[in-house]
């Protein structure tokens, strides 16, 4: 992997490599998972999307993550606008163009995989009930909870207004939960075949996995609801199954640090969740903040909350052995200091890399005075939620990377693997396990030590 220049010795912590499971990151700056809505209407990769990610890889990010990829057919029916889909072989080709572009520019490709949006999903058919942990719990965002910069959302277009209110929910059956989990595990295998180096399970921000955890949205009385151990079961089983399905591949989980809602998930509970995930083979925990759409602080961490995230992450770090990633730390000097003092390990930059994809390169070359900082104007978010592709007032190239020669791919480079590790050297098991068994034994990381033809 190409070494980055480190003229600015002061930021050596931000620039130091780190191992996550079997992969090594060249520095501590990664692209946060963001659904940039450049995919096609049926979830396929587009040139606009591929070149957007290519630009972030070229900008020096150690890994480039997709936003939430819909990992089952059912989940793809309940989304918001446009998301990437990956649940059958036909999706591999487009996503391979994406991972190829990322690898060409010497970054790692991370697939953030979601099993569903639950009560936060929307269907084109508004009469359909949304599959969720519990029935009769649609969300509703109070106008006063909407950040000032997004107030226009409910006024501009009908789509924005629809976002304010969720569709009616129905309770997922146990059989449905199990078949969704199995399909999801298979889709994560497809992600490895498509060339992704890292699988991130999407568990934050009030989406389906989070809904099962929270007493506010999980009112079930069966083995997936009620007591804490039962509410954790859905996510814990997913972690076990993906660990089993993708041996030797880096697998992490993104969760919220707490729910910030009365009666909602606390930081102590979320630390407990993180410990469970680590015990089941998670290679890292990525922390974001907040509950779901009703809580409203989650998606676009505001400045105040971002400032508190390192302190909160430090509590997770104390309880865990695996690396901890946190979102929304735009100041590289502070980030370097916090990493040095052990509060967290990796900085996931979201809107900041919409605004300036060259941020990591500028940190590496010591040109931090040349960084264009995100002003939290949220034009990008407003556009995405209204159905338009995002744009940034500070970055005229954002969304038009496809028109720039500098982000085009060329001949295979020396650092690129011709045979992606995931396909050949780490054979994946057939998914014939008895998924219906309520408590799978904890699967150890020993799958990685396996050198034979692969568990079948």
Rule CB under 6 A: is residue 201 a binding residue for ligand FMN? no
Query: In the complex, what is the shortest distance from the CB of residue 65 to ligand FMN, in angstroms, rounded to a whole number?
Result: 8
Q: Minimal CB distance to ligand FMN: which residue? A: 350
Question: Which member of 166, 225, 291, 350 binds ligand FMN (CB under 6 A)?
Answer: 350
Rule CB under 6 A: is residue 210 a binding residue for ligand FMN? no
Rule CB under 6 A: is residue 181 a binding residue for ligand FMN? no
Rule CB under 6 A: is residue 32 a binding residue for ligand FMN? yes
The values of phi and psi at residue 22, to 5°, are: -85, -5
**What is the C-alpha radius of gyration for the chain, rounded to an integer number of angstroms?**
20
Strand partners, 65: 110
Query: In the complex, what is the shortest distance from the CB of residue 83 to ligand FMN, in angstroms, rounded to a whole number?
Result: 8
Contact 137, 169 (CB under 8 A): yes
Total residues at interface with ligand FMN (CB under 6 A) = 24
* Other Cβ atoms closer than 10 A to 333: 13
Cβ distance to ligand FMN smaller for residue 4 or 378: 378
Rule CB under 6 A: is residue 191 a binding residue for ligand FMN? no
Rule CB under 6 A: is residue 122 a binding residue for ligand FMN? no
Sketch the per residue contact string, 48 through 77, with ligand FMN: x for CB under 6 A, - otherwise.
Answer: -------------------xx---------
Query: In the complex, what is the shortest distance from the CB of residue 350 to ligand FMN, in angstroms, rounded to a whole number?
Result: 3
Cβ distance to ligand FMN smaller for residue 218 or 301: 301
**Could you tell me where the beta strands, DSSP code E, fall in 213-327?**
250-256, 284-288, 324-327
Rule CB under 6 A: is residue 254 a binding residue for ligand FMN? yes
Cβ distance to ligand FMN smaller for residue 360 or 420: 360
Contact 115, 71 (CB under 8 A): yes
Beta pairing class for 84-85 and 324-327: unpaired
Rule CB under 6 A: is residue 33 a binding residue for ligand FMN? yes
Cβ distance to ligand FMN smaller for residue 137 or 289: 289
Contact 257, 312 (CB under 8 A): yes
Segment near ligand FMN (CB under 6 A), from 169-177, 189-197, 348-356, 420-428? 348-356
Rule CB under 6 A: is residue 233 a binding residue for ligand FMN? no
* 153-181 burial code (b ≥16 CB/10 A, e <16): beeeeeebebbbebbebbbbeeeebbebb
Cβ distance to ligand FMN smaller for residue 60 or 420: 60
Secondary structure letter of residue 370 according to DSSP = G
Query: Which residues in the 374-413 window bind ligand FMN by CB under 6 A?
Result: 380-381, 384, 390
Question: Which member of 27, 35, 48, 51 binds ligand FMN (CB under 6 A)?
Answer: 35
Segment near ligand FMN (CB under 6 A), from 32-40, 56-64, 256-264, 312-320? 32-40
Question: Which member of 217, 256, 288, 296 binds ligand FMN (CB under 6 A)?
Answer: 288
Strand partners, 349: 31
Whole-angstrom distance, CA of residue 402 vs CA of residue 388: 17
Question: Which member of 189, 217, 328, 386 binds ligand FMN (CB under 6 A)?
Answer: 328
Closest alpha carbon to 74 in 173, 189, 166: 173
Beta pairing class for 198-202 and 108-114: parallel
Query: In the complex, what is the shortest distance from the CB of residue 405 to ligand FMN, in angstroms, rounded to a whole number?
Result: 26
* Other Cβ atoms closer than 10 A to 140: 10
Contact 308, 298 (CB under 8 A): no
Query: In the complex, what is the shortest distance from the CB of residue 367 to ligand FMN, in angstroms, rounded to a whole number?
Result: 20
Query: In the complex, what is the shortest distance from the CB of residue 380 to ligand FMN, in angstroms, rounded to a whole number?
Result: 5
Cβ distance to ligand FMN smaller for residue 104 or 107: 107
Query: In the complex, what is the shortest distance from the CB of residue 163 to ligand FMN, in angstroms, rounded to a whole number?
Result: 13
Long-range contacts of 337-345 (CB under 8 A, 24+ apart): 337/13, 338/310, 339/13, 339/14, 339/28, 340/13, 342/314, 342/317, 343/310, 343/311, 343/313, 343/314, 343/317, 344/287, 344/310, 344/313, 344/314, 344/317, 345/18, 345/28, 345/284, 345/317
**Site residues, ligand FMN (CB under 6 A):** 32-35, 67-68, 112, 202, 204, 254, 288, 299-301, 327-328, 349-352, 380-381, 384, 390
């Amino acid at each position: 992997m190409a070494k980055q220049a480190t003229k600015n010795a002061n930021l050596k912590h931000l620039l130091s490599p780190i191992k996550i499971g079997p992969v090594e990151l060249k520095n501590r700056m990664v692209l946060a998972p963001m659904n940039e809505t450049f995919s096609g209407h049926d979830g396929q990769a587009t040139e606009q999307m591929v070149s957007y990610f290519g630009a972030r890889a070229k900008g020096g990010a150690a890994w480039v993550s997709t936003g939430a990829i819909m990992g089952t057919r059912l989940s793809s029916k309940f989304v918001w606008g446009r998301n990437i889909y990956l649940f059958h072989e036909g999706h591999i080709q487009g996503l391979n163009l994406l991972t190829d572009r990322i690898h060409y520019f010497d970054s790692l490709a991370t697939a953030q995989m979601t099993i569903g949006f639950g009560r936060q999903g929307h269907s084109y058919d508004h009469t359909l009930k949304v599959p969720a942990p519990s029935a009769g719990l649609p969300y509703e965002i109070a106008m006063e909870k909407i950040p000032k910069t997004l107030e226009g959302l409910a006024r501009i277009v009908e789509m924005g207004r629809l976002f304010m209110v969720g569709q009616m929910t129905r309770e997922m059956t146990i059989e449905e939960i199990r078949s969704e989990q199995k399909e999801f595990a298979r889709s994560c295998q497809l992600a490895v075949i498509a060339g992704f180096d890292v699988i991130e399970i999407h568990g934050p921000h009030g989406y389906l996995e989070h809904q099962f955890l929270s007493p506010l949205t999980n009112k079930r009385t069966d083995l997936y609801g009620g007591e804490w151990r039962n509410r954790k079961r859905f996510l814990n089983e997913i972690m076990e199954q993906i660990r089993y399905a993708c041996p030797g591949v880096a697998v992490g989980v993104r969760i919220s640090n707490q729910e910030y809602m009365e009666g909602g998930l606390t930081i102590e509970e979320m630390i407990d969740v993180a410990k469970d995930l680590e015990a089941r083979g998670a290679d890292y925990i990525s922390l974001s903040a907040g509950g779901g759409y009703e809580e409203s602080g989650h998606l676009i961490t505001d400045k105040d909350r971002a400032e508190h995230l390192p302190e909160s992450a430090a509590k997770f770090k104390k309880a865990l052995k695996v690396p901890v990633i946190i979102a929304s730390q735009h100041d590289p000097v502070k980030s370097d200091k916090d990493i040095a003092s052990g509060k967290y390990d990796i900085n996931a930059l979201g809107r900041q890399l919409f605004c300036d994809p060259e941020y990591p390169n500028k940190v590496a070359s010591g040109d931090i005075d040349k960084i264009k900082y995100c002003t939290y104007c949220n034009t990008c978010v407003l556009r995405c939620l209204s159905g338009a592709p995002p744009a940034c007032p500070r970055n005229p190239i954002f969304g038009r990377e496809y028109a720039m020669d500098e982000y085009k791919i060329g001949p295979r480079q020396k650092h690129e693997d011709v045979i992606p590790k995931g396909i050949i050297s780490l054979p994946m098991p057939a998914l014939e396990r008895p998924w219906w068994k309520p408590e799978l034994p904890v699967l150890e990381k020993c799958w990685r030590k396996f050198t034979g033809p692969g568990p079948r």
